[in-house]
Amino acid sequence: MVYVTLAGAILSEILATTAMKYSDGFSRLWPSLGTALGYVVAFALLAKTLKTMDVGTAYAIWSGAGTAVVAAIGMVFLGEAATAARIIGVLLVIAGVVVLNLGGAH
């Protein structure tokens, strides 16, 4: 169940960050409200996750998955450059999260 809660936190963070792109510097109401709501939900779910999961593990998964997915959204849907360096960078973020998790909680 903890991974479902963490997945909800990740999804909320991804939606909030994407909405922020459309908020035009918080000058557009609905995307700005979507950003604020998304981050409130993301942090609430992350806080709930931290009741039973190590902070290092939870934060690595949360931030790494969010970074990778938001970068992919930018490249696939928002016209951001999909350069080899960016793709390698995203893969390195994912590899880092995997290594942290393999380092193991006790």
Residue 30's domain spans which residues? Answer: 2-102
> Is it the case that residue 106 has pLDDT exceeding 70?
no
Share the mean pLDDT of the chain: 94
* DSSP code at position 27: T
Q: Give the pLDDT score at 37.
A: 98
Q: Give the pLDDT score at 103.
A: 79
Q: What is the per-residue pLDDT across 33-85, written as a single tens digit (0 to 9) for each?
A: 999 999 999 999 999 999 999 998 899 999 999 999 999 999 999 999 999 99
Q: Give the pLDDT score at 101.
A: 83
Which two tokens mark 5? 């809660």
Task: Give the H or E element holding residue 91.
Answer: helix 84-102
Number of domains in the chain: 1
Q: In terms of Cα–Cα distance, which of 49, 36, 52, 53 is closest to 10?
A: 49
Q: Give the pLDDT score at 100.
A: 84
Q: Give the pLDDT score at 104.
A: 66
Q: Give the pLDDT score at 26.
A: 98
